[in-house]
Amino acid sequence: MNASIALAMKPGDGGSAANNDLDDVRLAAGGDVAAFERLYHRHVARVHSLVSRMLEPELADEVTQDVFVRVWAKLGTFRGDAAFSTWLHRVTVNLVLGQRKKLGIRRERYLPDAEAVLDRTSGAEPRAAIGAEFEAGMRRLPDRAREVFILHDVEGFKHREVAEMLGVTTGTTKAQLHRARMLMRKYLSP
C-alpha cells in the first residue's frame, strides 16, 4: 500500500477504505495474516506518526511494531462500534501513554526550561519549512502540554476523551492545550 492510502485514513473517513478495513479485520481476526498486513500498510503511517510525536522519535519504530502486535492479539475484542481506524488509534494512544509511564520518559534538554527554549529559537527560521519547524516545536513542548496538544489538535480527540486517556479533568486539558498553543505560536512567530 502506498502513503496516499494511509493519508486517506483520517478520523471520520468512511467509504471503501473503512469497508476494506472491516473486511480485513474479520479475516485477520480469523487468523489471516495477509489481511492483517493490508491493515498494517493502510494505517502504519498514521500510527508511526503518532508514536513518533508522543514518544522519543528513536523509539517510534519499535513501539509501532508493538502496537500492531498488540492489535493483532486484541482483534477479537474489536466490536465494530466505531471505525477500525478509531479503535486502532485508541489502542495506540493507550500503549504510548503506558510506554511513557513505563519508561519514565523525561526529556533531557540542552536548555531545561521549555519557554526559554522556545524563546531562544524564535525567529531562527520563521515560517519556513513549516511542517518540520512545527514538528520541532512540538518536541520542545513540556510533556503534558505536548500530550494534550497532539491528542487534541493533531489527532482530533475531544477534551473529554483526552482527559479520560490522561486521567485528568477537562479543565486541565483545556489549560494545557492553551499553554501549548501559546508556546507554539511564540515558537513560530517571526
Partner 1 sequence: MIAHVTAALLAAMAPAQQADTTFAVDAIRLEVTQLEGVISVTGWDRDEMRVQASYDEDEGRLDIRQSGGTIHVSTKGEWGEPVYGELALSVPRSIALEITGVSLEVGIERSAGSVSVSTAEGEILLVGGSGNVALNAVNGPVTVAGASGKIAVNAVDGDVSVSESDGAIAVTAVDGDVTLEGITSDNVSVNAVDGDIAYDGTIVDGGRYVLSTHDGDLDVLIPNGANARISIDTFSGELDTDFAVELEGDFGKKRISFTVGTGKALVELSAFDGIISLRQE
Partner 2 sequence: MTDWTEKLSDYLDGDLSGDELAKLEAALQGDAALRGVLEELRAVKDTAASLPQHAPLSDLWSGIEARIEADRLADVVPLSSAGNARRRFSFTIPQLAAAAVALLVLGSASVWMAMSSGAGGLESGSPIAVAPAPEAGFVSAPGDGSTFSYEATIQDLEQQLQVGRDRLDPKTVATLEGSLATIDRAIARAQEALEADPASVYLNRHLADARTRKLHVLQQAARLARS
Contacting residues toward partner 1, per CB under 8 A:
56-58, 107-110, 117, 121, 124-125, 129, 132-133, 135-136, 139-140
In the complex, minimum distance from the CB of residue 99 to partner 1, in angstroms, rounded to a whole number: 16
Q: Which is nearer to partner 2, 8 or 111 (CB)?
A: 8
Please report where in the chains the cell 494505517 appears, as a residue.
43
Q: Which is nearer to partner 1, 83 or 141 (CB)?
A: 141
- Contact call for residues 71 and 88 (beta carbons, < 8 A): yes
Please report, to the nearest 10 degrees, the dihedral formed by the alpha carbons of residues 86, 92, 98, 102 taken in order: -170
Site membership for partner 2, residue 188 (CB under 8 A): yes
CA dist., res. 190 & res. 188, Å (int): 6
What does the radius of gyration of the chain's CA atoms come to, in whole angstroms? 18
Q: Cell numbers for 170, please give them.
A: 477537562
- Contact call for residues 37 and 53 (beta carbons, < 8 A): no
Q: Which is nearer to partner 1, 57 or 76 (CB)?
A: 57
Among residue numbers 50 through 109, which ones bind partner 2 (CB under 8 A)? 52, 59-66, 68-70, 72-74, 98, 102-104
Residues with Cβ within 8 Å of 88's Cβ and at least 6 positions away in sequence, in order, are 43, 47, 67, 71
Interface residue list for partner 2 (CB under 8 A)? 3, 6-7, 31, 33, 36-37, 40-41, 44-46, 48-49, 52, 59-66, 68-70, 72-74, 98, 102-104, 130-131, 134-135, 149, 153-154, 156, 159, 174, 177-178, 181-182, 184-185, 188-189
